[in-house]
Amino acid sequence: MLVEIQADMEMSGEAADGEQAVALAAERNPDVMLMDLRMPVLDGVAATRRIVQQAAASGRAAPKIIALTTFNRDQAVVEAVHAGASGYLLKSAEREFVLAAIRTVYSGYSVIAPGSVQALFQHAARTLPSAGPDLSVLEVLSARERDVFLLAAKGLGNGEIAESLFVSEATVKTHLRSVLDRLGLGSRLQLVAFAYERRLLG
């Protein structure tokens, strides 16, 4: 109902479980999907992964997927980001925030539930075996790309990174795109997860 009354949105369909969600994505190719992470038959993380792989195999863009969770520090959120989700929302989110999130990911940006995305990935990183930073993964980046990577991983926006490095925002965007491509990452959110899991932020 919430979606249907928006002039710029149209409801494409509903799925009762993960398998149905994968089938729906293939059949209707929606722009955005709200994906419950706790579903029967196939959970939301696995469904997200299959939808992204399915789209890549067919040569089309995957739907932008927003993971829905009950808890702000749900490990499944981190897994969903790795699988290709464009962000996450709490199921208790206000309807205006849900609508804004749909429009935001449709425009190509990530979205997260209120609170610190760094706190989410810090919490997830604590569950990993203790180890030092894995700096070798950054060897494929130039010195300036490493600067952009570390500042983006700390949560700085393009404008803040540009100001910090004394370059233009356009230059930051170019470097960031290159960083994502070289590291095989699909989004800024995946970049943050990548940095925390490899303990690159200290």
More confident site: 64 or 121: 64
Specify the pTM: 0.72
The residues of the chain that CATH labels 3.40.50.2300 are 18-115
What was the pLDDT predicted at 130? 52
Q: Per-residue b/e over 159-194, b at no fewer than 16 CB within 10 Å?
A: eebbeeeebeeebbeebbebbbeebebbbbbbbbbb
Rounded to whole angstroms, the Cα distance separating 68 from 162 reads: 32
The CATH class for the domain spanning 18-115 reads: alpha beta
In this predicted structure, which of 7-16, 35-44, 154-163 has the lowest mean pLDDT?
154-163
H/E run at residue 35: strand 32-36
- CATH 1.10.10.10 describes domain 135-197: yes
What average pLDDT does this structure show over 165-188? 91
Question: Which residues of the chain form CATH 1.10.10.10?
Answer: 135-197
Confidence of residue 132 (pLDDT cuts 50, 70, 90): low
